[in-house]
Chains A and B, each alone.
Chain A
């Protein structure tokens, strides 16, 4: 059983909002920049889609064994 750790690199984030649009249950914009709603999540393909959508590859997804 794995879980994923997700993060947004604040140095890269432009606040384009694609992640929040694609996976509103995982990302939201706070003061214009993206933040994950939770850092540790069950594997979620929507997060992979959101990471691919990010115009600056600011979304980091790591697999972690639980």
Chain B
């Protein structure tokens, strides 16, 4: 859309307050009429916004885009202050080195080894929930403790420290929900704590993820420094908690508000891995597009010219509803091929915890189907409350009965 002066219209982003998991209807219109458009986020400089899947993948994987360039810029963002995104603010080759080393430790095999333990944790949580009797809050009883426990197990965080750890982790993804000084204090606490865990593992090697990070060596014989490990570990731990908690709650919310889909999973539990993939496509995790990529040369994208130095954001949830890729995109269909979604991002910064998240989500749904098949919402859907001032969409609570 072009104004009479010839400059493209700039819209505020996000386009509206998040309303549950509903997407603003403007995204579909933009995909059709203006796939790359101008936006202004609450803070920072104006940016381009890519809404179609193919364009999203270009922005996220084409070497002409940079994340490191964001460091010296007034990065478009939802938080008043810029957040240090660590490895997410790096480009190859610095990024490649760190990412490769972490991937030696955070392997799909290691995640698979956690599956039986995750099943046990899930079963115990449901057993406790049942024992306390209906109704219950699915988030407090299951969605919050499961990922938190699993990631603490992965890193070897002792039981006694886990509650405090979860408080620190929540601070890291808050936008306006906590005062800036509080966020900084919690981040500092987390970093110091993780430094202690790393130091222990230098003295006494362990078999957990942190222990493996201490041992990791890449093809060049390179290794992670103390500071890098602390920052990476803290980042992984923080990134892996609220996101997975939110997805667990949102997945059950979708199933409980689409009962035919819940019945389908109970009839055919073999569909669960495909259902997880489809829900990763369907459920919008973020409130707004984030982590802009900066063009390093002039380039054409989605019918516009992006100048060198301009930031481009990707609306992942819009890309995941791209009708030119996913037939009937706003329908939940467990039998479609949902691979190719960008729920975990794309390219060099693709979510490193993706396999862990998938495993937890699969185990959660498998356990629920088996142990709590009669689960239903304990309140009417409009009574559900969603958190505000966060970077991710999440319910405050999910009251259920069975």
Give the residues from 1 to 42 in chain A that come closer than 8 angstroms, CB to CB, to chain B. 14-18, 20-22, 29, 32
Asked whether B350 lies within 8 Å of A55 as measured between CB atoms, the reply is: yes
Asked whether A56 lies within 8 Å of B107 as measured between CB atoms, the reply is: no
Asked whether B350 lies within 8 Å of A18 as measured between CB atoms, the reply is: yes
Which chain A residues border B355 with CB–CB below 8 Å? 55-56
Given contacts A49-B100, A52-B103, contact A57 B61 (CB under 8 A): no
Which chain A residues border B104 with CB–CB below 8 Å? 52
Asked whether B96 lies within 8 Å of A22 as measured between CB atoms, the reply is: yes
Q: How far is the CA of A35 from the CA of B99 in the complex (A)?
A: 21
Size of the B side of the interface (Cβ < 8 Å), in residues, is 26
Asked whether B57 lies within 8 Å of A53 as measured between CB atoms, the reply is: no
The answer to whether the Cβ of B92 comes within 8 Å of any Cβ in the partner chain is: yes
Which chain B residues border A60 with CB–CB below 8 Å? none
Asked whether A16 lies within 8 Å of B103 as measured between CB atoms, the reply is: no
**Closest Cβ of chain A: how far from B197's Cβ, in Å?**
23
Asked whether B219 lies within 8 Å of A45 as measured between CB atoms, the reply is: yes
The answer to whether the Cβ of B344 comes within 8 Å of any Cβ in the partner chain is: yes
Give the residues from 46 to 64 in chain A that come closer than 8 angstroms, CB to CB, to chain B. 46, 48-49, 52-53, 55-57
Q: How far is the CA of A29 from the CA of B60 in the complex (A)?
A: 13
Asked whether B100 lies within 8 Å of A21 as measured between CB atoms, the reply is: no
The answer to whether the Cβ of B370 comes within 8 Å of any Cβ in the partner chain is: no
**Closest Cβ of chain B: how far from A28's Cβ, in Å?**
11
- Of B100, B340, B351, the contact of A15 (CB 8 Å cutoff): B340
The answer to whether the Cβ of B339 comes within 8 Å of any Cβ in the partner chain is: yes
Asked whether B339 lies within 8 Å of A15 as measured between CB atoms, the reply is: yes
Q: How far is the CA of A29 from the CA of B344 in the complex (A)?
A: 18
Given contacts A20-B61, A21-B61, A53-B100, contact A14 B219 (CB under 8 A): no
Q: Which chain B residue lies CB-closest to A16?
A: B350
Given contacts A52-B104, A53-B100, A55-B354, contact A18 B347 (CB under 8 A): yes
Asked whether A17 lies within 8 Å of B103 as measured between CB atoms, the reply is: no
**Closest Cβ of chain A: how far from B288's Cβ, in Å?**
23
The answer to whether the Cβ of B346 comes within 8 Å of any Cβ in the partner chain is: yes
Q: Which chain A residue lies CB-closest to B277?
A: A14
The answer to whether the Cβ of B218 comes within 8 Å of any Cβ in the partner chain is: yes
The answer to whether the Cβ of B348 comes within 8 Å of any Cβ in the partner chain is: yes
Which chain B residues border A17 with CB–CB below 8 Å? 57, 60-61, 346-348, 350
**Closest Cβ of chain B: how far from A61's Cβ, in Å?**
13
The answer to whether the Cβ of B108 comes within 8 Å of any Cβ in the partner chain is: yes
Q: How far is the CA of A48 from the CA of B100 in the complex (A)?
A: 10
**Closest Cβ of chain A: how far from B299's Cβ, in Å?**
18
- Of A20, A32, A49, the contact of B218 (CB 8 Å cutoff): A49
Give the residues from 72 to 115 in chain B that come closer than 8 angstroms, CB to CB, to chain A. 92, 96, 99-100, 103-104, 107-109
Which chain B residues border A20 with CB–CB below 8 Å? 61
Asked whether A57 lies within 8 Å of B347 as measured between CB atoms, the reply is: no
- Of B57, B61, B219, B346, the contact of A46 (CB 8 Å cutoff): B219
Q: How far is the CA of A46 from the CA of B108 in the complex (A)?
A: 18
**Closest Cβ of chain B: how far from A53's Cβ, in Å?**
5
Q: How far is the CA of A57 from the CA of B104 in the complex (A)?
A: 12
Q: How far is the CA of A39 from the CA of B148 in the complex (A)?
A: 42
Q: How far is the CA of A32 from the CA of B104 in the complex (A)?
A: 25
Which chain B residues border A45 with CB–CB below 8 Å? 219-220
Q: How far is the CA of A14 from the CA of B339 in the complex (A)?
A: 6
Give 9 closest A-B pairs by Cβ, nearest first: A45-B219, A21-B348, A16-B350, A17-B61, A57-B108, A52-B103, A49-B100, A17-B347, A53-B103
18 pairs, A vs B, C-beta closer than 8 Å: A14-B339, A14-B340, A15-B346, A16-B346, A17-B350, A18-B347, A18-B350, A21-B61, A21-B347, A29-B61, A32-B340, A52-B100, A52-B103, A52-B107, A56-B108, A56-B355, A57-B108, A57-B109
Chain B residues in the interface with A (C-beta under 8 A) = 57, 60-61, 92, 96, 99-100, 103-104, 107-109, 218-220, 339-340, 344, 346-348, 350-352, 354-355
Chain A residues in the interface with B (C-beta under 8 A) = 14-18, 20-22, 29, 32, 45-46, 48-49, 52-53, 55-57
Excluding A29-B61, A55-B351, A55-B352, 20 further A-B contacts by CB distance (< 8 Å) are A14-B339, A15-B57, A15-B340, A16-B344, A17-B60, A21-B61, A21-B92, A21-B347, A21-B348, A22-B100, A45-B219, A49-B100, A49-B103, A52-B103, A52-B104, A52-B107, A53-B99, A53-B103, A55-B108, A57-B108
